[in-house]
Amino acid sequence: MQSVGRIASNIPGSGILDVSDAMREISYIVPGMSCGQCEQAVSEEVTAVAGVQAVEVNLAAKLVTVRGEQFDDAAIRAAIEAAGYEVA
């Protein structure tokens, strides 16, 4: 999966990407993540989901932010669970 790189800011409409209407961003709380290995495991699984273009993990906030086009919310949750973690 090709990475689109980091988005400049979280302010709506300010993205540096060529964002279409299909572009979406969803954040998931994953309390079980505690270290870099957790981050990597979750990132790898979520990145493999169809339509996902970028995954950001904030360990301090236990937050996984997913960006992409028309990815399936249930598939993201399944991927996080496949990595061994639970979505809050």
Shortest distance, position 76 Cβ to Cu ion, whole Å: 19
In terms of Cβ atoms closer than 10 Å to its own Cβ (0-12, 13-18, 19+), residue 87 is middle
Cβ proximity to Cu ion, 11 vs 35, nearer residue: 35
Shortest distance, position 22 Cβ to Cu ion, whole Å: 33
Restricted to residues 35-54, the positions that interact with Cu ion (CB under 5 A) are 35, 37-38
Rounded CA gap, 37 and 18, in Å? 32
In terms of Cβ atoms closer than 10 Å to its own Cβ (0-12, 13-18, 19+), residue 84 is exposed
Cβ proximity to Cu ion, 34 vs 58, nearer residue: 34
Cβ proximity to Cu ion, 17 vs 87, nearer residue: 87
